[in-house]
Structure 1
């Protein structure tokens, strides 16, 4: 836009300038001669030349304003296109991040389901453990009469303890995985937020 405003002067502007200069010369000549007919002729010439010059400059100014308006319209149109392209990129980015968040939420839900399953297994193992303990206590009350049953109950108790340990270990693993997934998802959201900002 600035380059077009530095164009050389148009023919109309040069012509208008020439007319005004010639009007000054004719008026000066009329003043020097100082006769009525020459002054009248010089005045008429100066007025006509001024009107024609003003009309030429008015047309030139209107053309320049039209050109500048067209340039501004092109700039506005380019800015509009760039804004539309940026809006599309933002929408695509938002859709992509939405699908990632949905995938992460699905993974978290799956890990929560696994955690609930392990908690149920732990509750069952604790029930079995309490049952086996009650059985052991009952068998210990009559040690002399049921020594073989006592050994069997002790074996079942050991199995229940092993099962409980496995279930608790599995629960700890599931909790660690869930925390790792949530931390990774939070960091991913922060990175995406920082990029979009």
Structure 2
């Protein structure tokens, strides 16, 4: 890149030198013609006129060659720029293709991950539904067990109450048996005394 920048600067200096030489030649021709006119000699005017035409033609040729060289340099610069842009475009195209490939791979990986996560989510939802069904079933069983426990508790209380009543009745009967035994013993003693 340093050499292309250096070349235009060098061309500009050459152009300036060439144009300067052409301008100097035209000035010399002009001075020669003016000098011949001031001198008044027709031969001198004719020679200076021919010299002016020749110097003008040389100046025109120098300017024309400078113009052609300038066009060739500009065309070469455009060609170099086009080549540089083509290389830059190829590089960017490759980078874009690589970026598109990378993004496609990432998107595919994300889609695969999303698909896997959706599968896991569906499995988790099935498990949650099954767990809810089991929980509902267990909850119903627990409610039934609590109801049975309440019923059994009521029966137990009733049985305990009956047992307490029975104990009281047994105690009363035992007391009656004791009382009857005492009366029987007293009666037997009365009978034994009557016999004796």
- Alpha-carbon distance, 1:67 to partner: 0.9
Deviation (angstroms), 1:138: 3.6
Matched, 1:88 2:94: yes
- How far apart, CA to CA, are the structure 1 residues paired with 2:48 and 2:150? 150
Give the TM-score of the pair, scaled to structure 1: 0.61
User: For residues 173-192 of structure 1, what are the structure 2 equivalents within 5 Å?
Assistant: none
Consecutive unaligned residues in structure 1, runs of 5 or more: 148-197
Residue 79 of structure 1, CA deviation: 2.1
1:44–1:128 Cα change, 3 Å: same
| 1:75 matched to 2:81 | yes
Correspondence for 2:104 among 98, 106, 115 = 98
Give 1:88 deviation, angstroms.
1.1
Who is 2:53 aligned against?
A: 47
Question: Which stretch of the first structure deviates more once superposed, 44-53 or 121-130?
Answer: 44-53
Structure 2 CA distance for aligned equivalents of residues 127 and 48 of structure 1: 115
Distance 1:47 1:143, change over 3 A: same
SS in 2 for 1:6: helix
State the shift of 1:19 in Å: 3.2
What displacement does 1:13 show? Answer: 4.9
Q: TM-score with structure 2 length normalisation?
A: 0.62
Count residues in correspondence. Answer: 147
1: CA distance between counterparts of 2:19 and 2:148? 126
Counterpart secondary structure, 2:14:
coil
Partner of 1:9: 14
> What's the counterpart of residue 190 of structure 2?
none
Deviations 1:6-44 (A, max 9, x none): 324378656534532431342133123202232233223
- RMSD of aligned alpha carbons: 2.9
Q: How does 1:25-44 map to 2 (within 5 A)?
A: 25-44=31-50
- 1:30–1:128: structure 2 CA closer, same or farther, 3 Å change rule? same
Segments of structure 2 that go 5 or more residues without pairing to the other structure are 154-196
> Which residue, 127, 131, 140 being the options, matches 1:125?
131
